[in-house]
Chain A
Amino acid sequence: MSSDSPLETQIGLWRDYLRHHPAVHSADAEELEDHLRAQIASLAEAGLAEDEAFLVAVKRLGNLDAVSREFAREHSERLWKQLVVAPGSDDEDGPRRSREAWVVVALACLAAISFKVPELFGRHLFAGDPAAQAFYARNASLFVFPFLAGYLLWKRRPGGRALVPIALLFVVGLLFANVYPFANRGHTLGLTASHLPIALWLAVGLAYVGGKWRSRPRRMDLVRFSGELFIYYSLIALGGGVLTAFTLVMFQAIGLDVNWFLSSWVVPCGALGAVVIGAWLVEAKQSVIENMAPVLTRLFTPLFTAVLLAFLATMAWRRTGIAVERDVLIGFDLLLAVVVGLVLYAVSARDPEAPAGAFDALQLVLVLSALVVDAIALAAIAARISAFGFSPNKVAALGENVVLLVNLVGSAWLYLRFLRGRASFAALERWQTAYLPVYFAWAWCVVIAFPPVFGFQ
């Protein structure tokens, strides 16, 4: 029986419908499908045409919603979606999943160990040596991202041609982090430390999309993956914190100080390994559990909008400007980044076909109020930039502000057109996915060009 026969198509549709019932697991669906096929075969033997046999068999199987309700009554725990990472005994692709678990654990261990390798060459992070600290700050992302990319590539198995740019990016990142003669504790060192992870996320992203970096849906998947990984990582970090605190206190109770071990081994190695583990969990959960980032977006979009509006109203009422302190620009950059994130994750979870609703209007209000706040801040900073001078941090912060501002202006414009029915929501999605390379380009620009331009100060 070929898989594209009409009967197979019908069974496929039926299977897809069944899959939407959370109480019916894939093993149950398989069992029901076996039943359906047996029934069809026996009806066909009795002389019915295939499509007739299918209809009769489906009818006899009964209302799937009712069947699913019975399953739910029998397995009420199934309505709480569980993330099963360990393969079940009656699972078809069990061997592959257990192999994946081994690969993940091995890569996480390698990432953890790689952090300790430089110590063999006399670079001790915790010995108070500023050169060693600078080394670790510059290279932090290189201890884990290659392993993360390795896992994603192992999973996706794209052709060899997809590997070249990814490997190249890591090599370039490694070079620019280490060949420049940075001043210890200098500004450009700090910029490289903070921008190289963003720049190298491009390599992880390329591994994630498996070479299909032109594909818009894949880029959106990368956005989703990044958001979920961030959330999972935060949760793992929380658990790790609790574990560390308990370890410390328990060993203290028997008169042993394990602080040195925790801070030089457990915490850094755990922090690196957890990235790979987190990625694995996100990959495994994809379809099982609701994405968390859009949920948080829904929750915080109204709250952020309220705060921004209240801020603007207070400023107008008290007729005060923004006090331009040294770090105020960074603060507003972060604000814009949060707003861009809120827009991005709202877009990532939205059905592009759905008509404009109140939440879209709210998003527009959020974006507009963020733009106004940022415009006021920029005006205040521009007026006094001569007093501060162009330090590398200022220029980087200003550049980031421009990058995020352009994105938000574009988003506001597209939201407006969408709300007035002049454009589809897909245009906004396209804008967001098309804009992704800009962030990476800027991060690479900071990593490569800033140190020499500003004399490695």
Chain B
Amino acid sequence: MEIGKDLVAASATPLVLAILAEEDSYGYAILKRVSELSGGELQWTDGMLYPVLHRLERLGFVEARWGRSETGRRRRYYHLTRRGREQLEAQRQQWRVVDSTLREIWKDTIERTIEGLTLPTAPWGAWSTT
């Protein structure tokens, strides 16, 4: 399933913040975690994660520092700041509202669809009267 670009962009911030809330991490591991959590359904273009991380850094939600990978290469690790934690909480509230609203309306729609299936306004009804 292809998830729309806007939705991916909108969900990137809370996802990255939430993953960093678990533990400090780096770009590749964050993407792997996203893929794991979504069962492979949520696919990002890998390169696009980095501008997002830099934006979060500029906004003060995360801090970056250079460390070493297990093979000794230089690697940039990201750490969630206190402001980032607050932001994550705010985003969680917002997404909860969006989520519950969508659930409500979809529950109705689903019921109506099911009704529609059981009580078809059959075109052949006109047929039978002739």
Partner-B contacts on A (CB < 8 A): 27-28, 30-32, 34-35, 37-39, 42, 60-64, 66-67, 70-71, 73-75, 90, 92
B72 → A minimal CB distance (Å): 11
Q: Which residues of A contact B64 (CB under 8 A)?
A: 90
User: Are B51 and A34 within 8 A (Cβ)?
Assistant: no
Contact residue among A37, A42, A64 (Cβ-Cβ distance under 8 Å from B73): A37
Q: Which of B50, B51, B73 has the most CB of A within 10 A?
A: B51
Q: B85 within 8 Å of A by Cβ?
A: no
Contact residue among B27, B54, B73 (Cβ-Cβ distance under 8 Å from A75): B54
* Closest CB pairs A-B (n = 8): A62-B45, A70-B51, A67-B47, A38-B28, A62-B47, A61-B47, A61-B46, A60-B46
User: CA A60 – CA B69 in complex, angstroms?
Assistant: 21
User: CA A31 – CA B27 in complex, angstroms?
Assistant: 8
User: Are B51 and A73 within 8 A (Cβ)?
Assistant: yes
User: CA A73 – CA B26 in complex, angstroms?
Assistant: 22
- Indicate whether A60 sits within 8 Å of B45 (C-beta atoms), given known contacts A67-B51, A70-B51, A90-B66: yes
Partner-A contacts on B (CB < 8 A): 26-28, 32, 45-48, 50-51, 54-55, 58, 64-66, 69, 73-76
Given contacts A35-B47, A39-B46, A62-B46, 13 further A-B contacts (CB under 8 A): A27-B76, A31-B27, A32-B50, A34-B27, A38-B69, A39-B28, A64-B47, A67-B48, A71-B50, A73-B51, A90-B64, A90-B66, A92-B74
Which applies to chain A's interface (DSSP): helix, strand, loop or mixed? helix
Enumerate 7 A-B pairs (CB-CB under 8 Å) in ascending A order: A34-B69, A34-B76, A35-B47, A67-B45, A67-B50, A70-B51, A71-B54
User: Are A71 and B51 within 8 A (Cβ)?
Assistant: yes
User: CA A66 – CA B45 in complex, angstroms?
Assistant: 10
Q: Which residues of B contact A66 (CB under 8 A)?
A: 45, 47-48
Q: Which residues of A contact B54 (CB under 8 A)?
A: 28, 71, 74-75
User: CA A66 – CA B5 in complex, angstroms?
Assistant: 14
Q: Which residues of B contact A63 (CB under 8 A)?
A: 45, 47
User: CA A60 – CA B46 in complex, angstroms?
Assistant: 6
A363 → B minimal CB distance (Å): 43
Q: Which residues of B contact A67 (CB under 8 A)?
A: 45, 47-48, 50-51
Measured CB to CB, the nearest residue on chain B to A72 is B51
Q: Which residues of A contact B26 (CB under 8 A)?
A: 34
A73 → B minimal CB distance (Å): 7
Q: Which residues of A contact B50 (CB under 8 A)?
A: 28, 31-32, 35, 67, 71
User: CA A71 – CA B57 in complex, angstroms?
Assistant: 13
User: CA A110 – CA B75 in complex, angstroms?
Assistant: 41
User: CA A353 – CA B32 in complex, angstroms?
Assistant: 46
User: CA A30 – CA B50 in complex, angstroms?
Assistant: 12
Q: Which residues of A contact B27 (CB under 8 A)?
A: 31, 34-35
B130 → A minimal CB distance (Å): 60
User: CA A268 – CA B73 in complex, angstroms?
Assistant: 49
Q: Which residues of B contact A34 (CB under 8 A)?
A: 26-28, 69, 73-76
B10 → A minimal CB distance (Å): 15
Measured CB to CB, the nearest residue on chain A to B65 is A90
User: CA A295 – CA B78 in complex, angstroms?
Assistant: 42
B45 → A minimal CB distance (Å): 4
B42 → A minimal CB distance (Å): 14
User: CA A66 – CA B9 in complex, angstroms?
Assistant: 14
Q: Which residues of A contact B66 (CB under 8 A)?
A: 90
User: CA A92 – CA B75 in complex, angstroms?
Assistant: 12
